[in-house]
Amino acid sequence: MHMSRTLPLLAAWLVVAGSASAGGVDQLDAFLNGLTTLEADFQQSLYDENLYPLEESRGAFLLSRPDRFRWDYRQPEAQLIVADGDKVWIYDRDLSQVTVRAMGAALGATPATLLSSDRPVDENFEVSELQPSGGLEWIGLKPRQADTGFSHIRLGLDGNVLKLMELIDSFGQLTRIEFNNIKRNPRIDASAFEFEPPKGVDIIRDN
């Protein structure tokens, strides 16, 4: 997926409010409670409004709460998103281009916010309990902000482990992210969330 679409999608996952009861919401609370670091592989798939597959990518994800994460897209294109707690760095290796954004402006109420923020989820999102499906408990998320670029988010949990994230954007397209080989609270070197632009790349500052 081209990086210009990736960041809005990441930013779209985390908005929820509401009248949810037990089940998935309790599991989400259990997943977030005490979470400091996370390591996982991911597979990200994009479908059009008719659920026709458009793109697929794979990579690795690292998280250190609060406000630090690393999405390393390795296939089919090598792209990288790093949040260092102050700025978000978006590196497109094929274009030799780095875009730099202030953390708050880049994320807002997004899925990346949901995972990396230590603030209560319902500050940014309306939360609803959905029916279990596919062996997972499901939570529906609706952004409180109107300009997030997505309309609905679903989180699928297996116990207190987040396995799937799905979001529908303003075009009706579905992005589905499946997490595998999940490690909760592993030791992660702080240098994983630092980024130094390679020599010779174009740097775009989007403040």
Tell me what pLDDT residue 6 has.
43
Say yes or no to pLDDT of 174 above 70: yes
Say yes or no to pLDDT of 19 above 60: no
CATH number at residue 38: 2.50.20.10
Say yes or no to pLDDT of 11 above 50: no
Q: Which residue has the higher pLDDT, 167 or 98?
A: 98
Say yes or no to pLDDT of 122 above 50: yes
Domain that holds residue 113: 3-206
* CA–CA dist 41, 50 (Å, integer): 27
Domains held by the chain: number: 1
